[in-house]
Amino acid sequence: MPIIVYIVSLGCAKNLVDTEVMCGALVENGCLLAAKENDANVMLINTCSFILDARKEAQETIEAALKWKRRARKTRRMVVVAGCLVQRNPQETKERFPDVDLFIGLDDVPNAADLIINAFNKPDEVQPLPKGGLPTYLYDHTTTRLTVTPETYAYIKIAEGCDHHCAFCAIPTFRGHQRSRQPESVVEECKQLLAQGVKEINFIAQDSSRYGTDHGNGDCLAKLLQKCDELEGDFWLRVLYTHPLYVTDELFETLAHSRHVIPYLDMPIQHVATSVLQGMRRGMTGPQTQELLHHIRKDFPELSIRTTVLVGFPGETESDFQELLDFITAFKFDRLGAFAFSPEANTPAAEMKDGLVPPKVAEERRRLILETQRQISLERNKSLIGKEIRVLLEQRESERIWIARSMADAPDVDNVIYVSARDKRYMFPRFTNVRITRAGEYECDAKEI
């Protein structure tokens, strides 16, 4: 009987790359991938465990998969759970879901196919749990990987793990210490993706701005980008997930003035009130954070700045929140996301007992932040009406309408542009110039020039 796998990948793009590595290993070892769950006999769920909502989503997905397993009448079905939820606490996950057939930890990602095939062929054999703890695995350009993103873009994980222990974040406890790939390996993977026809490459890591510091030889993100910028072709290169403590003017200069590296800075600041930042262990004060942002806006005006903030952290007063809201209102970030605090086990913030913010208050603060940003986004989009910009046409909405993104818009998280194409015969994704004709809060209409 062939092994046919239906895959559910939860969480961020970093998790998606792990999923793609497992997909590559499965296909390379003769397994088939299914587009529909009822066509499969194995369901593989790659879980996220970053925050409470992510764990709830993972648990609900596993429960649904186990129902899918029980619905089988004449054929055997198997449920496999991989990723951060497993790595974080293998034994607890096993006890919660005893009917899961196989658990795969982060160090087992490259061996997923062997583990799944063995478990499927030997249903009576007890499968061992992954070891848990701090993983050490890091893929490279020689790893078989099957990209599952739309054909226009792909992700490259340039590093794994994180050495900056923010008080609210548990990632270092289950993703491990920072491990940066060799620059030559990243360049080679860029070449591979470009040969596939990819138009946009997105560099990702837990902290992209610290890329190469663990090498001890002067490697850094700016130098890596400069090497990749020398590659031939018509493509965009975007960087996601930087930390304000580790960004440099060399990086800003590279982002602002390159052929392929686009002027987009994704830099979560989390907050601007000093007392909150100190509690978060972010390593910067409020004035330092604001000074950095003003420096970027003044000296590198080409950069579109995307950030993320966290509200409701223990000790955040109404005054602290107002300081953050006032800054967001005045600074007008190009793109912004907001989260409400949730305590994570094995983090310093989970042990904080003073100044706890009720969840309803945190959610209301988050709502106010997002409402403010919605108005800012609308104003910014309206300022584009009549202007000509370059976009990447990615997906056909109808005969003449394409869904597109600008340089200021990362996949899945930012704005979109609906483009009226000048000729319906152009069927393929491509870069083109458009003129904005209408603006909404998070989308625009445009005509191809």
Q: Could you report the per-residue pLDDT of 374-400, keeping only the tens digit for each?
A: 999 999 999 999 999 999 999 888 888
Structural domain total, the chain: 2
| Cα distances (angstroms) measured from residue 337 to each of 45, 116, 372 | 26, 37, 11
Q: Residues 210-243: pLDDT tens digits?
A: 999 999 999 999 999 999 999 999 999 999 999 9
- Residue 425's pLDDT is 67
- Residue 17 sits in a domain whose CATH number is 3.40.50.12160
Is residue 105 a contact partner of residue 70, using CB atoms and an 8 Å limit?
Answer: no
- How many residues does the structure list for the chain? 449
Residue 103 domain flag: yes
CA angle 415, 421, 424 (to 5 degrees): 135
* Domain of residue 432, residue span: 388-448
Q: How far is CA 51 from the centre of its chain?
A: 14
The CATH number linked to 409 is 2.40.50.140
Structure confidence at residue 1 (pLDDT): 80
Q: Considering the domain boundaries, does residue 327 fall inside one?
A: no
Residue 133's pLDDT is 80
Let me know: does 355 contact 315? Beta carbons within 8 Å.
yes
Which residues of the chain register pLDDT less than 70?
A: 424-426
How far is the C-alpha of 55 from the C-alpha of 50, rounded, in Å? 7
- Given a contact cutoff of 8 angstroms between Cβ atoms, the answer to whether 336 and 292 are in contact is no
Domain ends where: 73, 104, 121?
121
